A = this chain, B = another copy of it.
């Protein structure tokens, strides 16, 4: 039988259903939990199927941070002004190329409502601002900058506001988030089966998705979904062959963010039923060099000694530029004044020398490119400015104190992390779309099974963000479907 035959079955082949529900949710992470809650509240009998031995997925392993804004109570208490318009401007500039305004607009307009909904599910956010280089790892503040809102060029495009809303807990924040969402799933009367892997979608002769074939420990079962199926099965960073075929640049990154079930099954099921996979080459690529922030005073240069991005940009932007534009070749140039070992990021020094000229020679670079880079930077840094790349004045000071060091940030010697952002194309209601732009009847999706709000340009919290937001919509719309 062909692959299509395996991932997609005609309804006519199904002789009897082993179980029935209104809305079937495939995947028990954040997106699936939110779909289940809202599906059940809309009156549907909801069944969640989870491949793993327990629900939670990659969401439970995450930092519990959601990208929210537009003027949430947490933003207000912390003294930050925000609006849906400014949030929209930032996202349309940062989440490209060609972000989908049809997803981003409702995401921004209803973000405050979504915050309140999360709080209603019991998710706690402490109304304190964390002014760090990264989300808090050893404290429990509820708000932080989780993207490049406050740095060049985005601070000139939209009024900056921090939008990383963090589940309150010192450690295991993602686990705490999921604990509350799953309690809500349970109290909504949703059934959950674990160790249940969807292996095919069942499609009626008119193209409507009407159920799934499930592999369980007790064998194969056929489950009817009277109103719809919601695919919330994660991305594909753990499917080596899919990454090689679709997103080869991500292979440079040694740290895969996900679980082994992020193997793209949800995407493949959706395509087999007529959905379209888009932006499959995209991914979050992070360079987690900071904290401490002090290192941002250094110069990130490519394999020829040229700068290529402002060093105060979000870690995902630094990683993306290094991997996608510079073929994974980068060093951070420091002087003795600013050098410090990063808190969490193991580093190798590619060279240490008494002058920039010697450092350049030790790195095997062609003189005087690195010397020119440092001299041009220092010339403006004396006045606290970085007109070439727009790094913020708080991180600008001349590099003049020997010895000078080059931290090796080449992907082959360093720890970049990655997960996939490509997947099924959906509309704002969470319907999976065919290439024509029409919905595939009865089929919905959310989270990293979809290409969501971040079309390459990523900020932290966008995956739990769009997974929860469009998961809710998918669950509601599936419940109303048919």
**Nearest Cβ in chain B — how far from A242, in angstroms?**
8
Q: With contacts A5-B207, A277-B277 known, is A425 near B245, CB below 8 A? A: yes
CA distance A264 to B435 in the complex (A): 10
Given contacts A2-B274, A244-B98, contact A372 B366 (CB under 8 A): no
Q: Is the CB of A388 within 8 A of B366?
A: yes
Q: Which of B4, B6, B7, B244 contacts A273 (CB 8 A)?
A: B4
Are A207 and B1 in contact, with the CB atoms below 8 A? yes
Within 8 Å CB of A248, what residues of B?
Answer: 96-98, 455
In the complex where A246-B278, A435-B271 touch, is A440 in contact with B207 (Cβ < 8 A)? no
In the complex, whether A325 has a CB less than 8 A from a CB of chain B is: yes
A28 CB, min distance to chain B CBs, angstroms = 23
Of B10, B208, B438, the contact of A3 (CB 8 Å cutoff): B438
The closest CB in chain B to the CB of A277 belongs to B277
A348 close to B (CB within 8 Å): no
Interface residues of A in 52-109 (CB under 8 A from B): 96-98
Bound Cα distance A424, B237 (Å): 21
- The answer to whether B3 touches A436 (Cβ under 8 A) is yes
Given A306-B306, A372-B372, A436-B6: A206 and B271 interface contact (C-beta under 8 Å): no
Q: Which residues of B contact A249 (CB under 8 A)?
A: 97
Contact in complex: A388, B434 (CB < 8 Å): no
Q: How far is the CA of A379 from the CA of B367 in the complex (A)?
A: 10
Verify if A138 is at the interface (C-beta below 8 Å from B): no
Contact A206–B5 (Cβ < 8 Å): yes
Cα(A396)–Cα(B369), bound, Å = 18
A278 and B236 alpha carbons, distance in the complex (Å): 14
User: A278 touches which one: B2, B245, B324 (CB < 8 A)?
Assistant: B245
Given A3-B274, A3-B435, A273-B4, A376-B387 contact (CB < 8 Å): no
CA gap between A119 and B441 in the complex, in Å:
52
Closest CB of chain B to A440's CB: distance in Å?
A: 6
**Chain B residues in 8 Å Cβ range of A279:** 245-246, 281
Query: How many A residues touch B, CB cutoff 8 Å?
Result: 59
Bound complex: CA A97 to CA B242 (Å): 14
State how many angstroms separate the Cβ of A74 from the closest Cβ of chain B.
Answer: 34
Residue picked from A97, A244, A304, A437, most chain B C-beta under 10 Å: A97
Chain B proximity mask over A31-67: 1 for CB below 8 Å, otherwise 0:
0000000000000000000000000000000000000
Contact A10-B205, Cβ < 8 Å, known A245-B278, A246-B279, A372-B372:
yes
Task: Give the distance to chain B from A178, nearest Cβ to Cβ, in Å.
Answer: 29
> In the complex, what's the smallest C-beta–C-beta distance from A418 to chain B, in angstroms?
14
State whether the Cβ of A280 lies closer than 8 Å to any Cβ in chain B: yes
Chain B residues within 8 Å of A268, by CB: 435
Nearest residue in B to A241 (C-beta to C-beta)?
A: B437
With A97-B248, A271-B271: A441-B207 Cβ-Cβ less than 8 Å: no
Chain B residues positioned under 8 Å from A304 (CB to CB): 388-389
Taking CB atoms and an 8 Å cut-off, the chain A residues in 216-256 that contact chain B are 241-242, 244-246, 248-249, 251
Give A272 to B241 CA distance when docked, in angstroms.
21
Q: Is A402 an interface residue (CB 8 A)?
A: no
A292 within 8 A of B: no
Say whether A4 contacts B366, CB under 8 Å: no
Which residues of A, 268-326, contact B by the 8 Å Cβ criterion? 268, 271-274, 276-281, 304, 306, 324-325
Q: Are B366 and A2 in contact (CB under 8 A)?
A: no
- Show 18 residue pairs from A and B whose CB-CB distance is below 8 angstroms, ordered by the A residue: A1-B206, A1-B207, A3-B436, A4-B203, A4-B274, A8-B274, A97-B249, A98-B244, A245-B276, A245-B279, A246-B279, A278-B280, A280-B280, A280-B281, A304-B389, A324-B325, A368-B379, A369-B376
Q: Which 9 A-B pairs have the closest CB atoms?
A: A4-B274, A3-B434, A2-B207, A98-B248, A3-B436, A372-B372, A97-B248, A5-B207, A325-B325
